[in-house]
Amino acid sequence: MAAPLASKAGSAGTNSKPPFPELDFRSGARVEELNKLIQEFTKHDQRDLQPSSAAEIQHTRLLFLSFAGMVQKLDQKLPVANEYLLLSGGVREGVVDIDLDELNVYARGTDYDMDFTLLVPALKLHDRNQPVTLDMRHSALCHSWLSLRLFDEGTISKWKDCCTIVDHINGATNYFFSPTKVADWFYDSISIVLSEIQKKPQRGMPKVEKVEKNGTIISIILGVGSSRMLYDIVPVVSFKGWPAVAQSWLMENHFWDGKITEEEVISGFYLVPACSYKGKKDNEWRLSFARSEVQLKKCISSSLMQAYQACKAIIIKLLSRPKAISPYHLRSMMLWACDRLPANYLSQEDYAAHFLLGLIDDLQHCLVNKMCPNYFIPQCNMLEHLSEETVMLHARKLSSVRSDPAEHLRTAIEHVKAANRLTLELQRRGSTTSIPSPQSDGGDTNQPDDRLAKKLQQLVTENPGKSISVFINPDDVTRPHFRIDDKFF
């Protein structure tokens, strides 16, 4: 009796149907299809640039950094030989934790082709080896006032007009660095520089399409050749070291342990011009760990990053009104997930669909519980100020995504494809205009800029996936010093 049974089993195994495709329990979507849609989104979102467009981008980056050096020459306020952190992606993409409700809406394809964020240190504290203690007595968690008592008399004298003044009972006067006044000063200064450049246009210089002040950041759209670049300029205070308020975070285990050194992670932080929900806008700055986040991204798998980018594209459109959730919240959730889940699970190349669904679930969970801890300062709840009505509204919207993720992915793909078509059409039209390319014959006056553009292009080519920190001497803005530093974030 055993033999026939074995024979039947073998026969059944030969003629059995293939395994049932893996499905998402909630939506019924095929995981394989979701993976393919995420791959398609990634392909269109990270479109390959033509060689001429890539050169134009490098050329514009370099010239824009030179503009920042020219601002320093106006009144010598900015630190000499300043270091600027250039991040790929604009503020609206969540590259820094700044409120989006004061920003004008710009659309890729319609308004710009590529977007960047430039952090410009107005002040630097780079000589401290101990944890940095900030004046957080008047602020919510993750925020601080900044007294100029930390600086020398020369610095105080230069920046007095950008401070709020508080007189104490003992007669002492304290100058608090004002993010709103600093932003006003920087907007006026950048406007003067761009105006001077436009008065004496030179062949190969970018065309200024738009200059706008959005709250405490300055948004500039530059056109060069057939490309348009959006730069969100953020005046910041730069610190070397690590804030004391985040010191306990270093004591915990993290996903990046053993992959990058602690020295790389805690090399510095910033204060960005953003206040808390009930904070005083004229005085309050927000702690930013953008430099650390650039390092941490090196430890995140490509499949998780693809899922994050796709999820971000969905929520930017879906959760735009009222403005309560930003891509930075999603980024924080992703970092927490990296700490929570095994590294070998997160490194699976064909798990992008699982990661996308998990990020949506995480975001919905955070909304329902009105709890999203800051990754570096977990005691700071970034959703604490939201009303119950707002969080439930967004949670319901996310529920619709979770019920049909494939359809929302297709919509995101169509949006990015439409933006690319607009870009190509505008580039085609622009190719017949008089705006020159950095490779065009512009005479001897352009040769220094061309050489620098080629140098930057060479560095980018030889160091794929890494950013270039640029140190500019305000006395000679045509001779920046390059440093291979971090991967763009």
Question: What ranges do the domains of the chain cover?
Answer: 31-427
Confidence tier at 57 by pLDDT (50, 70, 90)? low
H helices present in 282-351, as ranges: 290-296, 302-318, 327-340, 343-346
Which of 45, 94, 93, 40 shows the shortest CA–CA distance to 406? 40
Out of 67-71, 190-194, 332-336, 458-462, give the one with best mean pLDDT: 332-336
Confidence tier at 447 by pLDDT (50, 70, 90)? very low
Residue 433 has pLDDT above 70, yes or no: no
Please count the CA atoms within 13 angstroms of the CA of 286 that sit on its side-chain side: 23
- Sequence-distant (6+) residues with CB within 8 A of 194 are 67, 208, 211, 220
Confidence tier at 446 by pLDDT (50, 70, 90)? very low
Least confident of 54-58, 250-254, 306-310, 348-352: 54-58
The total of other beta-carbon atoms located within 10 Å of residue 174's CB is 15
What is the length of the chain? 489
* Average pLDDT of the residues in 50-75: 69
Burial of 48 (0-12, 13-18, 19+ CB in 10 A): exposed
Least confident of 61-65, 84-88, 283-287, 452-456: 452-456
* Average pLDDT of the residues in 297-319: 94
Residue 365 phi, psi (nearest 5):
-60, -45
Confidence tier at 248 by pLDDT (50, 70, 90)? very high
Q: Is the peptide bond before 322 cis (omega within 30 degrees of 0)?
A: yes
Higher-scoring residue by pLDDT: 20, 121: 121
pLDDT computed for residue 424 by the predictor: 85
Residue 3 has pLDDT above 50, yes or no: no
Out of 73-77, 231-235, 454-458, give the one with best mean pLDDT: 231-235
- Sequence-distant (6+) residues with CB within 8 A of 454 are none
pLDDT computed for residue 1 by the predictor: 39
Residue 444 has pLDDT above 70, yes or no: no
Task: Give the residues across from 336 on adjacent strands.
Answer: none
Which of 354, 363, 337, 364 shows the shortest CA–CA distance to 303? 354
Please count the CA atoms within 13 angstroms of the CA of 325 that sit on its side-chain side: 33
pLDDT computed for residue 453 by the predictor: 47
pLDDT computed for residue 197 by the predictor: 79
Residue 28 has pLDDT above 90, yes or no: yes
pLDDT computed for residue 5 by the predictor: 42
pLDDT computed for residue 455 by the predictor: 55
Residue 314 has pLDDT above 60, yes or no: yes
The crossing angle, in degrees rounded to 10, of helices 327-340 and 302-318 is: 150
Confidence tier at 439 by pLDDT (50, 70, 90)? very low
pLDDT computed for residue 81 by the predictor: 73
Largest CA distance in the chain: 104
Q: Cβ(379)–Cβ(141) under 8 Å?
A: yes
Q: What is the pLDDT of residues 171-222, one digit of tens each?
A: 678 899 999 999 999 999 999 988 887 777 766 677 888 999 999 999 999 8
Q: Residue 78 carries which side chain, given as an amino acid letter?
A: L
Burial of 169 (0-12, 13-18, 19+ CB in 10 A): exposed
- Sequence-distant (6+) residues with CB within 8 A of 99 are 215, 274, 323, 326
On average, the pLDDT of the chain sits at 82
Strand pairing category for 143-144 and 114-125: unpaired
Cα separation, 271 vs 367, in Å, equals: 27
* Average pLDDT of the residues in 35-59: 74
What token pair was written down for 117? 């964020």
- Sequence-distant (6+) residues with CB within 8 A of 284 are 138, 139, 143, 144, 145, 179, 274, 275, 276
The topology (CATH level 3) of 31-427 is Beta Polymerase; domain 2 (3.30.460)
What token pair was written down for 61? 């980056």
Higher-scoring residue by pLDDT: 451, 425: 425
* Average pLDDT of the residues in 350-354: 97
pLDDT computed for residue 206 by the predictor: 75
Higher-scoring residue by pLDDT: 337, 172: 337
- Sequence-distant (6+) residues with CB within 8 A of 446 are 202, 203, 204, 438
Q: Cβ(221)–Cβ(114) under 8 Å?
A: no
- Three-state DSSP at 57 gives helix
Q: What is the pLDDT of residues 390-410, one digit of tens each?
A: 999 999 999 999 999 999 999
What token pair was written down for 182? 């600093």
pLDDT computed for residue 74 by the predictor: 85
Burial of 195 (0-12, 13-18, 19+ CB in 10 A): exposed
Which of 352, 297, 308 shows the shortest CA–CA distance to 465? 297
